[in-house]
A and B are shown apart, each in its own frame.
Chain A
Amino acid sequence: MSAPVFRAPSKRSRATAAVLVASVLALLAAGCAGGTPQATPTGSADVVEVPKDAATITEAISLVREGGLVLVDPGTYDESVTVDKADVTVRGTDRNAVVIDGEGLRSNGIQVIASGVRIQNLTVKNHTFNGVLVTGLHDKNGAQAHNLDGYQKLDPEKFPPLERFEVSNVTASNNGLYGIYAFNSSHGVIRDNYTSGSADSGFYVGQCADCDILVTGNVAENNAIGYENANASDSVVITGNRFTNNRVGLTLLSWYQEAYLPQKSATVVGNLIADNNSADSPAQALGAFGLGVGLSGANSNQLERNLIAGNRSTGVQVTNTEDLSSTGNRLEGNSFDDNGVDVADLSATRAPSSDTCITGSGSDLTVVPSSFADSCGADTTGGATAADLPSLEVPAGISFLKVVAGPDQPNLGGDLAEIPAALPAKVAMPDLAGVAIPDRSLLQDLVVQQ
Chain B
Amino acid sequence: MTGRPLAVVAAVIVGLTVGITLGGCAPGTTGTAEPQVTGLTTEQAERLAVTRFRNFDAGVREVTVTVAGDDSGDIVVDGWYDYATHTGYGSATAAGADAGLIWWSADTIATRDGATGETTAPLPLPDDGWQSGALDPTSTNLANALALVTNLGSDRPENPQLLAQSDAAFLKKDTIDGTAVEVFIGPSADGAAESTAAADLTTRARYWVDSTGTLLKFESPLGDGSTGATATIELGTTSGVEVPTAVPGT
Contact = CB atoms under 8 A, between A and B. Distances in A.
A173 to B, nearest CB: 15
Interface stretch (A9-17, A233-241, A308-316): A9-17
A4 interface: yes
B194 to A, nearest CB: 12
Interface in B120-173: 131-140, 142-143, 147-148, 150-152, 155-163, 165-166
Contact of A10 (B25, B102, B134): B134
Given A7-B7, A20-B147, A25-B186, A32 B111 contact: no
B134 A5 contact: no
A26 interface: yes
Nearest to B207: A25
Interface residues of A, number: 53
The listed residue with most A CB atoms (<10 A of its CB), out of B134, B135, B156, is B156
Interface string B75-92: 000000000110000001
B187 A25 contact: yes
B135 A29 contact: no
A25 B166 CA distance: 11
A128 B160 contact: yes
Interface string B110-124: 111110000000000
B198 interface: no
B19 to A, nearest CB: 8
Contacts, number: 200
A150 B133 contact: no
Contacts of B186: 23-25
A20 B13 CA distance: 14
A104 B166 contact: no
Contacts of B2: 1
B151 A20 contact: yes
Interface stretch (B30-38, B47-55, B60-68, B236-244): B47-55
Contact of A21 (B47, B111, B151, B220): B151
Interface stretch (A258-266, A291-299, A397-405): A397-405
Nearest to A103: B212
Which of B9, B189, B212 is the most central at the interface, judged by chain A CB atoms within 10 Å of its CB? B189
A9 B143 CA distance: 9
B201 interface: no
Interface of B: 2-3, 5-7, 9-10, 16-18, 23, 25, 43, 46-54, 56-57, 84-85, 92, 94, 99-100, 102, 106-114, 131-140, 142-143, 147-148, 150-152, 155-163, 165-166, 186-187, 189-192, 205, 212-213, 220
Given A15-B106, A24-B152, 5 more contacts: A14-B134, A17-B137, A23-B17, A129-B157, A150-B161
Interface of A: 1, 3-17, 19-32, 103-107, 128-129, 141-142, 148-150, 176-177, 199, 282-283, 396-399, 401-402
